[in-house]
Amino acid sequence: METIEKGFKYRIYPKNNQIEQIEVMFNAKRYVWNYFLNINKHRLNHHKSVLNYNKMSKLLTLLKKKQTWLNQCEKSVLQNTIKYQYQTFLKFFKKECGFPKFKSYKNNYQSIKMNYTNGNISVLEKYIEYTSTGKFKKQNCKIKLPKVKQVKIAYSRQYEGRIVSCTLSRDTDNKYYISLCCVDIEINPLEQTGAVVGIDLGIKEFATTSDNEIINNPKFYRKYEEKLIKTQRKLSKRKKGSNNRNKQRLKVNKWHKKIANCRIDFLQKLSTKLIRDYDIICMEDLNSSGMIKNHKLAKSISDASFFELNRELEYKARWNYKLISRINRFYPSSQLCSKCGTQSSQTKDLAVRTYICEECGLEIDRDYNASINILNEGLR
């Protein structure tokens, strides 16, 4: 049976003294990152190579002797920081990302990564309650973390496998989360159904399948747009640096989080349903970043989040031995007749919602017609 690597994210509720310790580690990570980025930037300006991980590690030891407050931070946090910076420079030289930037304390989102060693990260079993039937009950749970000690955790589901590291983060709404990275997780693939499907993604309807099933577009951003605009308008009138501005910023963030959470929930449920029902899923290889450049449709395309759906389908298909067949993005799926194969340019206009074949007289919904063509091309 195949094993995979998986993350389990939970919300935690640290006390005031624990929040102080977490903030110290956030500050230490930011200080070390900016310290070494300044050195590497200076070296590059003088036509030298950046420091490799081993050299940065030696300098970090000297820096901790000079700046003793850095010893309050878990050592693996600082080691991971310089390691990530070196990897970022390697990606930059390969032109896979931009030049590393200095980290600001004004950024509301902060995170640190801690490695698992000798049981320093563990969910405490003595705080986990079970029902009379022996089933898992998610109350009064705590997790042990380095330097922070025991923290209350919303232990909504049991993690699987073996913990190798954890990421402790403070979100933009000042809530704290922990993500456990686990390996050696056994997966039980879903049963094979033998069914195949073609999916045409769209804006009016989120998706139309070759089984003539229409999945409505929830349009979460449009749903909460008025409330978001109202709170943003109030934020623009608040004085910068004031407490009232920060309070209003949290209200704006609440609606952004609401939209994001609704969208993630919808996409996760949809992708799981598709993987459960079909063995082969045929889809277009959409260029989402290019489609967003159309300013008339950019908001609707971003709201639909086609890229995220494709990403979720990819890893879920890999876990369950299903196949995602991609067809060329330039394939004229909406212009071909699904019955006789005649090509017509009538559906280039998005306002035309019905495809009428000039040869065989087939009259069919344009999205349903496109999904059948996508299925045939994907299987071919």
Tokens 């693939």 found at: 189
SS3 string, the chain, reads: CCEEEEEEEEEEECCHHHHHHHHHHHHHHHHHHHHHHHHHHHHHHCCCCCCCHHHHHHHHHHHHHHCHHHHHCCHHHHHHHHHHHHHHHHHHHCCCCCCCCCCCCCCCCEEEEEECCCCCCEECHHHCEECCCCCEECCCEEEEECCCEEEEECCCCCCCCEEEEEEEEECCCCCEEEEEEEEEEECCCCCCCCCEEEEEECCCEEEEECCCCEEECCCHHHHHHHHHHHHHHHHHCCCCCCHHHHHHHHHHHHHHHHHHHHHHHHHHHHHHHHHHHCCEEEEECCCHHHHCCCCCCHHHHHHHCHHHHHHHHHHHHHHCCCEEEEECCCCCCCCECCCCCCECCHHHCCCCCEEECCCCCCEEEHHHHHHHHHHHHHHC
CA–CA distance, 166 with 156 (Å, rounded to integer): 17
**Gap between the Cα atoms of 301 and 221, Å rounded:** 11
CA 272, 274, 279, 285 torsion: positive or negative? negative
Query: Annotated catalytic residue: which of 74, 200, 279, 303?
Result: 200
Whole-number Å distance between alpha carbons of 324 and 275: 10
284 is known as an active-site residue: yes
**Which burial class, exposed, middle or buried, applies to 143 when counting CB atoms under 10 A from its CB (0-12, 13-18, 19+)?**
buried
Say which residue the tokens 């700046």 belong to.
67
Active site annotation includes 200: yes
Name the catalytic one among 74, 279, 284, 303.
Answer: 284
Q: Which of 74, 279, 303, 367 is catalytic?
A: 367
Q: Which positions are annotated as active-site residues?
A: 200, 284, 367
